[in-house]
Amino acid sequence: MAEISKPRTMFEKIWARHVVVERPDGYSLLYIDRHLIHDGSYFAFQRLKSRGLKLRRPDLSFATPDHYMPTNTRNKADIKDPNAHRMVTSVAVNGRETGITVFDVGDRRNGIVHVVGPEQGLTVPGITLVCGDSHTSTHGALGCLAFGIGQSEVIHVMATQTLWQKKPKAMRITIDGRLGAGVTGKDVILAIIGKIGAAGGTGYVIEYAGSAIRELSIEGRLTLCNMSIEAGGRAGMVAPDDKTYEYLAGRPYAPAGAAWDAALARWRELPTDPGAQFDREVSLDGRDIAPMVTYGTSPEDVVPVTGAVPDPAAAPDAVKREALARSLAYMGLQPGTPISEIAVDRVFIGSCTNSRIEDLRAAASIAKGRKAVVPSWIVPGSGLVKEQAEREGLDRIFKEAGFEWRESGCSMCLGMNGEIGRPEERIASTSNRNFVGRQGKGVRTHLVSPVMAAAAAVTGRFTDVRKLMA
Amino acid sequence: MSHEHRRTPFSVVTAVAAPLNQANIDTDQIIPGRFLSLPREDMKPHLFRDVRYYDNGAPRPDFVLNRPEYKGAEIIVAARNFACGSSREMAVTVLKDNGFKAFIAPSFGDIFFNNCYQNGVLPVVLPEARVSEILRFLLELPGAQITIDLPNQTVRGPDGKIDGFAIDSFRKDCLINGLDEIEMTLAHEKEIAAYEARVAV
């Protein structure tokens, strides 16, 4: 009689395949298939060298400067801060010394590390992928186990191509029901964080499932998984399907020929088996999700655009009450104010969350034939995204509408390189964190989708984008 | 195993605890992005830069760490989801360089939690109700001390009450013995090479 194996989650399958050493105390040494590196890893290279350690697998490591490169230039010599200049220029130097592939500034493949990985086909189903950046959860959209690590762990991966990990718990978030027009992957993840809280996923790897997730494009899934960290999760993932394979076929680093066929056979085995157990199950109805807007200083502070700023007095506990009161004071908002009456001073469309070609197409569809009434930036996620957008004429639409069309990079998402707002400036931003001071000291960030950001740009306030859609 | 990279072993800490009675304190607040390109030795004064100081550099008297009672504090007690957000390890190192050795909260940002162990400092998870109680005591008795005993896995609060806490034995061993994970892993070279040969990576 054939042995019937226990049904497993996709996460368990990927985990089991990567265990090199298992300790009795629950810790495993996991093999890492891909290590993505950015310019913030400057100090890691330094420490690796000073310890006399060698980078074990340069063939599995890929680097792209993104955080410290200003987005108004492609010339490294324009970087005024000597520390930032050294971090950007060191990537190519370290690449040459260690033998890793670098997509350097000036190379059209350069861009935000979490845009570049999938775009180059470096991110594929079933692998383990890490990067010294919390938004590494993005890559799970293609059905892999991807998570952010700190600098010491970056050095550990450089030296050993492995990491010590305790197996996280598994959570499944199921979203059935068709998403309405104007509702995007960004709104889905904001609605999820609003429901489970910014620490709701702590200790878990989250698998997103259900018909609404299957209906999302790969780029929508990348946005969704990107903000898993904002829900506290170690990683986010979506089962690979035909959309995934179609997206990956022919990408530069994706398998090709016979290797593609072999990979495809393996990938088709990855999705969670029917009957597999999760430690926690959460579900939302896709039909209930509206375009979302954050009002506070944590991504969990979020309401539909049709809603209003909540009243701290109605908060469920003292910690939440005090946090909300402090948030609203920082944000300069009065309880009860309808979201649609909040005026914005500036718009930022970009970041590893929302800077891919579909994001730009969606924003352009709203900008077309209208005029931005506040300063509005478009920062494409990579040189290739920028080129593609220009081929499609999106840059002309944005420029005609008064938007500023910039080079790729992390930019205003985390207020790098002087790309920041002014104190008390209110920004509609497609990025991932509305933290105090994240986009500049005293800056008030509201997280929204690209179409909602474009709607804010052309109306000067938060406007339900569904009213602007033809 | 070489001793060159061993850290100071962690055992028992008795120290003033500073209460940060806020949920979701993020690593951008602990060390804002614009300071991340600084060498570690220049980063120290920028801990909590924007919430701790006015624009002109004068300290905000209402910020806990600026109050004289908390001078020399080595423990931070915070509300839920402490140090969430960015993976920047500087959030741990800048706290450590300012004298902090341990943090107590109902939950932590996942990457910060891991980064603590990499730097020989201890994150302690206690139940939310107990953390709220400790926070109240600390706010009422500024400068009160807490004892964290890692070998016995206990926290003695400012009220004298003792709570046990959980920690993975792997992490505990590394902290108590000041072990370096890279050294430990390099001892598994044979298994790593065998894995690479087996799955052909």
pLDDT, tens digit, for every residue of A174-203?
999 999 999 999 999 999 999 999 999 999
Chain A residues touching residue B188 (CB < 8 angstroms): 20-21, 29, 162
Nearest to A199 among B81, B115, B191 (CB): B81
Let me know if residue B2 belongs to a domain: no
Rounded to two decimals, the ipTM of the complex is 0.95
**Domain A10-281, second-level architecture:** 2-Layer Sandwich (3.30)
pLDDT at A3 (0 to 100): 56
Q: What's the Cα-to-Cα distance from B39 to each of A261, B44, B52, rounded to whole Å? A: 48, 10, 21
Domain ranges of chain A: 10-281, 299-467
Per the structure, the count of domains in chain B is 1
pLDDT, tens digit, for every residue of B42-96?
999 999 999 999 989 999 999 999 999 999 999 999 999 999 999 999 999 999 9
Both structure tokens of B125: 């998870």
Let me know if residue B22 belongs to a domain: yes
pLDDT, tens digit, for every residue of B129-188?
999 999 999 999 999 999 999 999 999 999 999 999 999 999 999 999 999 999 999 999
pLDDT at A323 (0 to 100): 84
**Listed residue (A414, A420, A408, A353) closest to A109, CA to CA:** A408
Let me know if residue B115 belongs to a domain: yes
CB contact under 8 A, A27 and B132: no
The residue in chain A having the minimum alpha-carbon distance to the alpha carbon of residue B119 is A152
Regions of chain A where pLDDT drops below 50 = 1-2
The residue in chain A having the minimum alpha-carbon distance to the alpha carbon of residue B89 is A150
A25 touching chain B per CB within 8 A: yes
Which residue in A319, A412, A447 has the most chain B C-beta atoms within 10 A of its own C-beta, making it the best mutation to test that interface? A319
CATH of the domain at B51: 3.20.19.10
CB contact under 8 A, A436 and B51: yes
Q: What is the 3-state secondary structure (H, E, C) of B89-144?
A: CHHHHHHHHCCCCEEEECCECHHHHHHHHHCCCEEEECCHHHHHHHHHHHHHCCCC
Residue B124's domain comprises: 12-199
CB contact under 8 A, A436 and B36: no
A50 touching chain B per CB within 8 A: no
- pLDDT above 90 for B5: no
pTM for the full predicted model = 0.96
Which residue in A196, A229, A320 has the most chain B C-beta atoms within 10 A of its own C-beta, making it the best mutation to test that interface? A229
CB B92 within 8 A of CB B39: no
Query: Can you tell me whether residue A21 is helix, strand or coil?
Result: strand
- The CATH code that applies to domain A299-467 is 3.30.499.10
Both structure tokens of A455: 């709607």
Nearest to B85 among A83, A300, A433 (CB): A433
Nearest to A323 among B24, B85, B168 (CB): B24
CB contact under 8 A, B170 and A25: yes
Distance between CA A152 and CA B180 in Å, rounded?
10
Query: Rounded to a whole number, what is the distance in Å from the CA of A376 to chain B's nearest CA?
Result: 22
CB contact under 8 A, A436 and B115: no
- pLDDT above 80 for B201: no
Nearest to B87 among A20, A149, A298 (CB): A149
CB A313 within 8 A of CB A47: no
Nearest to A148 among B28, B50, B87 (CB): B87
The neighbour count for residue B136, using CB atoms within 10 Å, is 14
- pLDDT above 80 for B3: no
A13 touching chain B per CB within 8 A: no
- pLDDT above 50 for B2: no
**Listed residue (B178, B196, B199) closest to B119, CA to CA:** B178
Let me know if residue B1 belongs to a domain: no
